[in-house]
Amino acid sequence: MANQLLMAKSPEEAVAAKNASAVFVAGGTEVNRLGSDAAAAADTLISLKKCAGLKDIEEDAGFVTIGSMCTFQQLVESEKVPSYLKEAALFMASRTKRNMATIGGNIASKRSDSYIIPTLMAAGASMKLLTAGGKEVKTWVGEYIDEGDSDALIISVTVPKDMKVISKRYANTAQSHAVLTMSAALGEHGVRLDGAVKNVGLLHFCDLEATFREDPDVSEDKIIEMVRVCTGLHTADDMFGSDEYKRYLIAVTAYDLHKRITGKEV
Ligand SMILES: Cc1cc2nc3c(=O)[nH]c(=O)nc-3n(C[C@H](O)[C@H](O)[C@H](O)COP(=O)(O)OP(=O)(O)OC[C@H]3O[C@@H](n4cnc5c(N)ncnc54)[C@H](O)[C@@H]3O)c2cc1C
């Protein structure tokens, strides 16, 4: 259990203090959650609350750069943030939590029910990190999810302003954990599909993308069958539903989002 609190004044001070037994604290909604592994394992909490330069939202040449300490509520209220990202931020139904939780904390948590990571991945969002060695590095959200340096500090996230991105989230209630959150984006290379599948992970559905690219009019039944037999998808029965149900949900959602984003919905 933590016995020291460091109020870092700058990103450099925060990364200099980071080691295996120290944890960054942004909004604290995940770190301070009851039963959180992060808090239990930490000796030192490094608060980012007073860190300079992490709370701005700036727009330039069709892109919006969001400081990692921006809260979900700031995203919702900012005129610069694109509507597709506001929609994802509003998946966090509690306003109290939106006032505390940050975009950086959500990405770093890499949760399989993340509210916003599918949207960021689909939109091709990039990130600026400050590594433990004090080096600034640019990466993609998708890359960070797969192999991100967990000691690095997330400085900011950059998203395209005018991209067409749509998302869908399934949960028992607005406050419940989602079994599936999926996003589709329409870019230069066609439709991109990403999702958060509870207890499975954050996934880029490249096989589905390829199928839609090869045959934009592929039938829903073919997509359902493709996902039903997919061996690379490690869904299982749990309290969020059966393996069969999750595969069906992924398939029909991918089909629906593809139709909607390409303007072919009936
Ligand atoms: C009841 C409850 C339900 C929840 N349900 C969901 C849910 O359904 N989906 C979901 O996505 N989340 C959920 N959360 C978790 C949490 O609220 C969000 O993920 C939130 O966005 C985390 O942001 P934060 O600023 O509070 O992060 P913190 O709790 O401060 O930090 C979270 C993690 O990110 C790291 N971190 C924070 N900022 C940075 C940074 N700038 N650079 C590097 N690492 C950083 C911390 O070290 C920590 O490991 C839930 C939390 C609670 C309490």
pLDDT in tens, 90-139: 999 999 999 999 999 999 999 999 999 999 999 999 999 999 889 999 99
Mean pLDDT over the full length of the chain: 95
CA angle in degrees (0–180, nearest 5) for 142-263-174: 55
* CA dist., res. 183 & res. 220, Å (int): 18
Nearest to 129 by CA among 167, 89, 99, 158: 158
CB count in 10 Å sphere of residue 16: 15
Domains, the chain, in order of start with CATH, read 4-47 (no CATH), 57-160 (3.30.465.10), 164-261 (3.30.390.50)
- pTM recorded for the entire structure: 0.96
- Please state the rounded mean pLDDT for residues 141-167: 94
Segment 38-84, tens digit of pLDDT: 777 889 999 999 999 999 999 999 999 999 999 999 999 999 999 99
For ligand 1, residues with CB inside 6 Å are 23-31, 33, 38, 48, 68, 97, 100-102, 104-106, 108-109, 111, 113-115, 153-154, 177
Closest ligand 1 atom number to CA of residue 103: 21
